[in-house]
Homo-oligomer: A and B are copies of this chain.
Amino acid sequence: MDTLSRTPKQLGSALRRYRKQLGLSQTALSSRIGKRQATISTLESAGSATLDTLFAVLSALDLELSLRRRSKGVRARLEDIF
């Protein structure tokens, strides 16, 4: 329900999973946002793209992006306990 990415490649893979969940092909997605299928391909597999392209894809996949501090594992941080 919540995918974490720390590299462009990881983000690309995550986007691919979300796209497939929606049953969309790269071509279908690309035409929705007015970009080329090849652009989606390199984004998903190499992680190379501009923020412009990224957010276009996000909105087409009905995704939102959130930032948070890196947590070191599952256990709560001290400041969350006391």
Contact = CB atoms under 8 A, between A and B. Distances in A.
Nearest to A65: B5
How many A residues touch the partner, as a band? 20 to 34
B52 A51 contact: no
Contacts of A71: 64
The binding surface of chain A is classed by DSSP as mixed
B68 A66 contact: yes
Given A6-B58, A58-B6, A63 B70 contact: yes
A55 B6 contact: yes
B70 A62 contact: yes
B67 A8 contact: no
Interface of A: 1-8, 11, 14-15, 18, 47-52, 54-55, 58-59, 62-71
